[in-house]
Amino acid sequence: MSENTLAGWENKIRSYAATHKLPLDRTVVRRAAKKINRNFEACNALTLTDDELIARVLQHSDPTGEEAVKNVMRERNQAAAARRLAA
């Protein structure tokens, strides 16, 4: 880990966002950097990498995962409705 300053975290977050194609504005980057910087010592005890720390703070949706959950829930709801109608 190189720089664990506020500016260093902002740079790491911008790099992470570019790698993962996340559109982040300046305010989001700044807030995430402050949150990581504030909690760095506690998170460092968990032996997380910089990318893992950033991923924990930047909670972004995964369209593939979201779609998978919707499909499973739809199937479960349809099965439950079929059981109710059959009874």
Q: Taking the model in full, what pTM does it have?
A: 0.54
Residue 1: enclosing H or E segment and its boundaries? none
Reply yes or no on whether the pLDDT at 1 is more than 60.
no
CA distance 78 to 37: 46
Burial 36-72 (b: 16+ CB within 10 A, else e): bbeebeeeeeeeeebeebbeebbeeeeeeeeeeeeee
Q: How many CA atoms lie within 13 A of 77 on its CB side?
A: 6
| pLDDT one-digit tens code per residue, 16-62 | 889 888 888 899 899 988 888 887 766 665 677 777 878 777 776 66
